[in-house]
């Protein structure tokens, strides 16, 4: 009987651990930590003199605060998930709501600890990032364009944070890349609103597509894409990147312009979905442009 109880307790503990892991979505957390690393790489024109311990701390801050945000999301959406996703850790009963909140506290504390170990400025940026993310997850999701801006800020901040970790301030080339990421991602979020207009309308989400129609939303999305393209020559003209920047950024610029034209011609749900996925590819090429542009 004792052996059976120990087996059941061990199985229960493993299941709960699995529930915690599912809550934090490790793949998303690794991607956030990687974004911090990219920001650090963009800020350094050479690898000499890099404080690798600080870079590690930056990665861990990005990872743990992203994990905290994922848990906040599932905690806040637990009643909706009980209907739509009953197998998720909280609605299934695998993780209790109070346990999820405790996990948020622990993850946030760890993230802030590593940020503080680097600098006070890193701590302040990390705290602001979590506030922005929590604001989106709790009240910003249904706000439409303001919510789009919050999501884009969450995309851009890790790159800025990486620069601070690496050199103590935000370098201009990182500012320009983060701005490009902000603008193109905002366009992508608006495009996503066209794809999800039926469900968003039913849920009371006030996207541009819901409020003003797909055509006007497509025009707004294209404007953000073109604004992102307009920033890329500035990086070159200021001499912030090498010739290796050019071929990759040309792919990005051509892709974003072409996506804008295609979206304006056809802002149907199916085509908007294709454009949304394509823009992610152009964003990756833009990232490669700025990374290769650091090679002299």
Per-residue pLDDT, averaged over 237-256, amounts to 94
Answer yes or no: do 160 and 38 share one domain. Answer: yes
If DSSP codes are grouped into helix, strand and coil, which group holds residue 114? Answer: helix
Q: Which two tokens stand for residue 96?
A: 């209790």
C-alpha Rg value of the chain to the nearest Å: 21
The answer to whether residues 201 and 161 belong to one domain is: no
Residues 37-57 as b/e (b if ≥16 CB within 10 A, e otherwise) read bbbbbbbbbeeeebeeebbbb
Q: pTM for this one?
A: 0.87
Alpha carbons 188 and 199: distance in angstroms, whole number: 17
Residues 158 and 246 in one domain: no
Short-list 294, 31, 52, CA closest to 173:
294
Give the span between the Cα atoms of 215 and 188, in whole angstroms.
15
Lowest mean pLDDT segment, chosen from 22-26, 118-122, 189-193, 198-202:
198-202
Average pLDDT, whole number, for the chain? Answer: 90
| pLDDT band, very low/low/confident/very high, at 6 (cuts 50, 70, 90) | very low
Q: How large is the average pLDDT for residues 89-107?
A: 94
Q: Last residue of some domain: 170, 202, 220?
A: 170
Same domain, 157 and 208: no
Last residue of a domain, one of 154, 170, 186: 170
Q: What is the count of structural domains for the chain? A: 2
Return the closest-CA partner of residue 190 out of 138, 228, 135.
228
Q: Which domain holds residue 107?
A: 13-170
Do 233 and 295 lie in one domain? The reply is yes
Instruction: Specify the pLDDT at position 205.
Output: 83
| Per-residue pLDDT tens digits for 122-153 | 999 999 999 999 999 888 888 899 999 999 99
Do 204 and 62 lie in one domain? The reply is no
Across residues 104-114, what is the average pLDDT? 97
| 83 — pLDDT class (breaks 50, 70, 90) | confident
CATH number for the domain spanning 72: value is 1.10.357.140
- pLDDT the model gives residue 45: 61
Share of the chain above pLDDT 90, in %: 72
Q: Hey, CA dihedral for 21, 22, 24, 30, is it positive or negative?
A: positive
So what's the pLDDT on residue 234?
A: 94
Give the C-alpha separation, 264 to 235, whole Å.
Answer: 28
Q: Are 145 and 208 in contact (CB under 8 A)?
A: yes
Note whether residue 1 is domain-resident.
Answer: no
Is residue 5 situated within a structural domain? no
* Rounded distance between C-alpha atoms, residue 202 and residue 75, angstroms: 22
CA 159, chain centre distance (Å): 10
In a domain, residue 90? The reply is: yes
The answer to whether residues 114 and 181 belong to one domain is no
pLDDT tens digits along 145-195: 999 999 999 999 999 999 999 999 999 999 999 999 999 999 999 999 999
């Amino acid at each position: 009987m004792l052996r059976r109880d120990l087996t059941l307790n061990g199985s229960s503990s493993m299941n709960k651990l699995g529930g915690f892991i599912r809550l934090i979505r490790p793949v998303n957390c690794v991607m956030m930590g990687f974004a911090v690393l990219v920001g650090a790489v963009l800020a350094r024109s050479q690898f000499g003199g890099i404080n690798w311990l600080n870079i590690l701390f930056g990665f861990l801050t990005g990872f743990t605060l992203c994990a905290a945000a994922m848990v906040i999301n599932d905690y806040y959406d637990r009643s909706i998930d009980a209907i739509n996703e009953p197998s998720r850790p909280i609605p299934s009963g695998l993780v209790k709501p109070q346990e999820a909140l405790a996990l948020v506290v622990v993850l946030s504390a760890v993230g802030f600890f590593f940020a503080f170990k680097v600098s006070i400025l890193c701590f302040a940026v990390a705290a602001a990032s979590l506030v922005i993310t929590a604001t989106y997850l709790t009240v910003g999701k249904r706000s439409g364009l303001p919510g789009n801006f919050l999501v884009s800020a969450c995309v851009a901040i890790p790159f800025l944070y990486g620069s601070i970790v690496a050199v103590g301030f935000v370098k201009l080339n990182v500012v320009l890349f983060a701005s490009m990421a902000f603008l193109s991602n905002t366009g992508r979020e608006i495009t996503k609103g066209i794809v999800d207009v039926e469900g968003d309308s039913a849920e009371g989400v006030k996207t541009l597509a819901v409020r003003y129609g797909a055509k006007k939303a497509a025009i707004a999305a294209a404007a953000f894409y073109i604004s992102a393209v307009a920033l890329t020559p500035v990086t070159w003209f200021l001499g912030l990147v090498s010739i290796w920047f050019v071929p990759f950024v040309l792919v990005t610029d051509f892709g974003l312009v072409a996506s804008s034209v295609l979206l304006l011609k056809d802002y149907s749900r199916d085509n908007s979905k294709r454009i949304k996925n394509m823009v992610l590819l152009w964003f990756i090429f833009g990232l490669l442009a700025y990374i290769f542009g650091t090679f002299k």
